[in-house]
Amino acid sequence: MGQMGDPGPASTGFLVPDADDLPDGVLVADGRAVITGLNAAAERVIGRRAADLVGHDLRQALPLIEPDGRSWWECTDPWSGLATRTGHRERLLVLPGDGGPREVLVTARYRRPGRCQPVDAVVLGLRDAAARRRTEEAHGLLISTVAHELRSPLTSVKGFTATLLRRWDRFTDDQKRFMLETIEHDADRVTRLIGELLDISRIDAGRMEVRRQPVDLVAAVRRHVDRMVASGHEAERFVLDVEGRLPEVWADPDRLDQVLGNLLENAVRHGAGTVTLQVAPVTEALTDGGAPALAVAVAVSDEGEGIDEQDVQRVFTRFWHGTRRGGTGLGLYVVRGLVEAHGGSVQVGRSAAGGARFRFTLPAGAPEHVA
Ligand SMILES: Nc1ncnc2c1ncn2[C@@H]1O[C@H](COP(=O)(O)OP(=O)(O)O)[C@@H](O)[C@H]1O
Ligand SMILES: [Mg+2]
């Protein structure tokens, strides 16, 4: 990498029309191993420009080696090897270079004008192996975290049910009630986790559906506060602050509830002190680089420890949670996905009292007026 940067579009000699539109790298060499063309993706994977490669010997320009260090071209030699070979399947090869070695996934097709005739073109498919490795690592992490998160509540459900079934007569009503409440709580947790995972897969696949209708944001916020108070929190802990006249907002009421519920729950569980909910009209760019537009901002602030500067980027990622366990670390990832599916954005900063301040915006107006 290093000095290469993004090499920009390639230029010459394609056998395939619109090769630059291909997501994978394609490179073509002729019967004498001279490179005749490559697409933009191939330039990115190799880290060199087409102009520096076309006209050069493929074996020298791309000195691919096997992971054990052997030269790939000596092993495979498409030009003077067995005349029946038609190419090879995907291989992980290493490409030495100025910016350090690159791992490349290479497929090859040897074109022959007729059966058993000499090769007149070698077409290489090239993919960046690092990207695939990252995806695989992320999947592995996702699976192990999910398995772990599911196991602890299920262990308690299984443990308490087994105990109750075998020793029903030995427990008092209070003890039985306690166990059943724990089972219910843990079953709820599993259900919630699965719901969040389904939301995540929709967000990741870009299929998060929002059914918009006009919503009364202030009433929604108030309802959430009431719910908190009904579940045992002191009413004095919550302050609702509505500024100015709010424009009409169209949102999916269920999704909005999820966003508000998550932020409020976090403020109470991870934060401390008074929780202030501000609702105000704003004019700002809703997406990076977008034109300023009318929106409504909802901010949830608390007086707890807040989010450390170095964690600000991480709070919205999947499975990230601070030192205190208990949650899944998925809430804010889902919040961001839901807000963005509405065309809004969400940020975190510090509240005046030093705690966390989560603020999200929703574009004003009916969806056809929303970009
Ligand atoms: N209001 C807050 N104050 C301090 N830390 C917070 C606050 N909200 C969220 N966090 C931190 O962000 C992490 C991720 O939050 P979230 O995605 O909702 O997951 P969860 O609540 O399941 O842990 C939390 O574990 C916590 O460390
Ligand atoms: Mg949470």
Predicted confidence at residue 279, as pLDDT, reads 97
Which ligand sits closest to the CA of 354?
1
Q: How far does the centroid of ligand 1 lie from the alpha carbon of residue 177, in Å?
A: 31
Predicted confidence at residue 4, as pLDDT, reads 38
How is residue 269 annotated by DSSP?
H
For atom 19 of ligand 1, the residue with the nearest CA is 329
Cα separation of 256 and 358, whole Å? Answer: 15
pLDDT over threshold 90, residue 345: yes
Atom of ligand 1 nearest to the CA of 265: 21
Cα separation of 319 and 338, whole Å? Answer: 17
Atom of ligand 1 nearest to the CA of 300: 1
> Stretch 169-181: mean pLDDT, rounded?
95
Lowest-pLDDT choice from 152-156, 277-281, 361-365: 152-156
For atom 1 of ligand 1, the residue with the nearest CA is 267
Give me the domains of the chain, ranges plus CATH numbers. Answer: 19-130 (3.30.450.20), 133-204 (1.10.287.130), 213-369 (3.30.565.10)
For atom 6 of ligand 1, the residue with the nearest CA is 270
For atom 5 of ligand 1, the residue with the nearest CA is 270
pLDDT over threshold 90, residue 192: no
Predicted confidence at residue 254, as pLDDT, reads 93
pLDDT over threshold 50, residue 77: yes
pLDDT digits (tens, 9 = 90+) for 35-60: 999 999 999 999 999 999 999 999 99
Give CA angle at 313 (285, 133), nearest 5°: 115
Atom of ligand 1 nearest to the CA of 355: 3
Cα separation of 336 and 347, whole Å? Answer: 9
Cα separation of 103 and 327, whole Å? Answer: 38
pLDDT interval class at 357 (50, 70, 90): very high
Closest CA to 357 of 285, 263, 294, 279: 263
Predicted confidence at residue 326, as pLDDT, reads 64
pLDDT interval class at 17 (50, 70, 90): low
pLDDT interval class at 139 (50, 70, 90): confident
What is the rounded (10 degree) CA torsion for 339, 344, 348, 352? -120
Cα separation of 284 and 368, whole Å? Answer: 19
pLDDT over threshold 90, residue 26: yes
Cα separation of 90 and 126, whole Å? Answer: 9
Q: Do the beta carbons of residue 307 and residue 249 sit within 8 Å?
A: no
Predicted confidence at residue 341, as pLDDT, reads 93
Give CA angle at 232 (231, 238), nearest 5°: 95
Q: Where are the alpha helices (DSSP H) in 167-301?
A: 173-204, 217-230, 253-269
Closest CA to 310 of 302, 300, 320: 320
Predicted confidence at residue 114, as pLDDT, reads 87
Around ligand 1, the residues with Cβ closer than 6 Å are: 262, 266-267, 270-271, 302, 304-307, 315, 320-322, 327-333, 356
Q: Which of 111-120, 181-190, 212-221 is most confident? A: 212-221
Atom of ligand 1 nearest to the CA of 271: 3
Cα separation of 286 and 270, whole Å? Answer: 27
Q: Which residue type sits at 160?
A: F
pLDDT digits (tens, 9 = 90+) for 196-215: 889 988 888 888 889 999 99
Cα separation of 58 and 42, whole Å? Answer: 13
- Specify the pTM: 0.66
For atom 10 of ligand 1, the residue with the nearest CA is 270
